[in-house]
Amino acid sequence: MQDSEQQLFFLTKEKIIKHQKRQFQKILKDSPLHKIDKKTIEFIIEYFQGKHNPKVATRSFIFFGTPGVGKTYLAEKLLQILDVEILYMSCSPFTFLQGTRCSRFCDVLTKANNKKKQVLFFDDLEYHLGKKDEDGSYQPNGIKTFLGILDIVKQNQNKLLIITMNHLHELDERMIDRLEAKIYFDLPSQENKQRFLDIHFNNILSAPMRRFISQNSIGYNYRDLPEVIKLAYRLGESTVTMASLRFALQYYRPTQLYGFTVLNAVDTRLRDIHGKPDALRVARRILQIYTQRNLKETLGLRRYNLLLFHGPPGTGKSFMARALAGELGFPIISINGDDIHGHHPFASIKYVVEMAKRYKNCIIFIDEAEKLLGNQNYEADNPLLGELHQGIDGIDPREIQSIMILAVNDISRFSDTLLDRFIPLRFDCPDYEERLLFFKEKLDHVKPVVKITECCEELARRTEKMTYRMMDRFWNELVLSSLENTRESLEQMVIRITKHHGERCPPQSMFG
């Protein structure tokens, strides 16, 4: 290479690295990593600049977390700005200025056995370690060679090691013990998702659309976001509209929440609630706390977001949860017995608690919780309930971030240990005034379409001790029979519906 060509090459190389450094610094700054972890990653850049004493410097790093959270992306951008040779193993090639891709651990071991400054990079380490044996261990030959690589990094001050993988527990104790800095990558926050969409989809989605997705994509990683947009594009017949986005978010299930029912963009509001003054008062308090971000810390509040809705079926427990979600603009993760019971119910409870600690802007709603967590025949506490208590009050210092709501029909199946941790809110059958308002709204709505001779006062009197669910059925029968001119008397209708469904409210003493 001639002198002029060589000079141009180095100028171009320097310009590329300078641009990549600016890009990386912005990516690191905008990432959801803890500030200590960000400082640790900056340390990698500074090490080869001679700014740190090798004897006390960290030289092995592992980035771990669920798929799609940006581990490989950040590692790639980091390695692109290091002016040293990169020996790497990966499923796909990278564009490093001094990169050498290897296919086996022994190749890396051979190429790293020197005094050159090098970074050894293993992307998706689980894949390269291969299949596990029946006892859950990796093949011994691969493990032996990889441990040899770890020893080279430990003994040679010119080597750094960077690893990405999904689950740290996949490694055995010998490997984990040799890895110094362990950096956890969590799911992107709402702000991170907004920034990602602004960068990559600003020419496809309007600002309100991008904001709507970031607010209603709980549990999404950076791979899920493009997928739900592609789905909205298909549903919108080759265009993305707010309507197609709403439907796509309702249909699409991110990997983290696969198997759960997730309700996004709930349009129910607290103004839609009839009566329920105690529940509404608590809901408005929660609304105030979540809309004033510093109020929780200022007042030292704890467990204000753990609620226990109790009362007979059909009295509005689920509807109240929807109304609270609608006011806050939060999605609802709805969980029932089928989601918990199975081969590993204890692991499922741990997973639900972990979701509640991880996801801040959502409501986790566990319906008919007594079937999962309640005592049987007033025996000792259900062991699954003990697992829930451990998750809430165990050694893990993290607080529950989401709003967790347990909905139960029979609170008597729970001991005081649960009531001490959750705020109990009772849901009774609607009283006369609530029934009156219910039927007044119904009558006003159908007045242009069908003639109902009865007044709302008469309908409210006739439906005493009915739940809202029964009142809905009663109203359906009333309207349809009026349209068909096959009306029976109100008394006959009440007797038939209550006899068929058996849902009259029990005496209040049954629910405390």
Residue 21 burial (CB count, 10 A):
15
Q: Once rounded to an integer, what is the mean pLDDT over residues 238-254?
A: 91
Q: Which of 241, 186, 236 is nearest to 71 (CA)?
A: 186
Distance, CA of 265 to chain centre: 15
Most confident of 21-25, 199-203, 373-377: 199-203
Tell me which of 440 and 392 has the higher pLDDT: 440
Phi, psi of 454 (to 5 degrees): -75, 150
Specify the range with the lowest mean pLDDT, choosing from 11-20, 112-121, 220-229, 438-447: 11-20
Q: What is the spatial distance between Cα 68 and Cα 320, in angstroms, rounded to a whole number? A: 34
Tokens of 441: 């709204």
- CATH code matching the domain that covers 3-184, chosen among 3.40.50.1580, 3.40.50.1370, 3.40.50.300, 3.40.50.620: 3.40.50.300
3-state DSSP call for residue 424? strand
pLDDT at 509 over 50: no
For residues 335-344, give the mean pLDDT: 63
> For 116-120, 194-198, 440-444, 507-511, which range has the lowest pLDDT when averaged over its residues?
507-511
- 155: pLDDT strictly greater than 70: yes
Which pLDDT score is estimated for 134? 63
Q: What's the pTM value of the predicted model, to 2 decimals? A: 0.69
Residues ≥6 apart with Cβ < 8 Å to 356: 364, 400, 401, 402, 404
464 phi and psi, to 5 degrees?
Answer: -60, 140
3-state DSSP of 121-166:
EECCHHHHHCCECCCCCECHHHHHHHHHHHHHHHHCCCEEEEEEEC
Neighbours of 110 (CB within 10 A): 12
pLDDT reading at 79 higher than 60 = yes
CA–CA separation, 314 and 336 (whole Å): 16
- Contact call for residues 164 and 72 (beta carbons, < 8 A): yes
Q: Say what percent of the chain tops pLDDT 90.
A: 38
Residues 375, 413 contacting (CB under 8 angstroms): yes
Walk across the sheet containing 261-263 and list its strands.
Answer: 261-263, 332-335, 363-366, 403-408, 306-310, 423-426
pLDDT at residue 10 greater than cutoff 80: no
Res. 205: pLDDT tops 70? yes
- Could you tell me which residue, 349 or 117, shows the higher pLDDT? 117
Once rounded to an integer, what is the mean pLDDT over residues 46-59?
A: 91
pLDDT(451) > 70:
yes
% of the chain with per-residue pLDDT over 70:
83
Question: Looking at residue 316, what DSSP letter applies?
Answer: S
Is it the case that residue 375 has pLDDT exceeding 70? no
Mean predicted confidence (pLDDT) in 244-266: 85
Q: Please determine whether the domains at 3-184 and 270-426 fall in the same fold group of CATH.
A: yes
Confidence of residue 504 (pLDDT cuts 50, 70, 90): low
Maximum mean pLDDT: which of 168-172, 264-268, 277-281? 277-281
In this structure, whether the domain defined by 270-426 belongs to CATH 3.40.50.300 is answered with: yes
Is the pLDDT at 328 greater than 60, yes or no?
yes
Residue 301 has pLDDT above 90, yes or no: no
Token pair recorded at residue 242: 């707010």
Q: Where are the domains of the chain?
A: 3-184, 190-253, 270-426, 432-509
Q: For residue 508, what pLDDT band results from cuts at 50, 70 and 90?
A: very low
Lowest-pLDDT choice from 27-41, 103-117, 222-236, 330-344: 330-344
User: Does the pLDDT value for residue 511 go beyond 50?
Assistant: no
The count of residues in the chain is 512
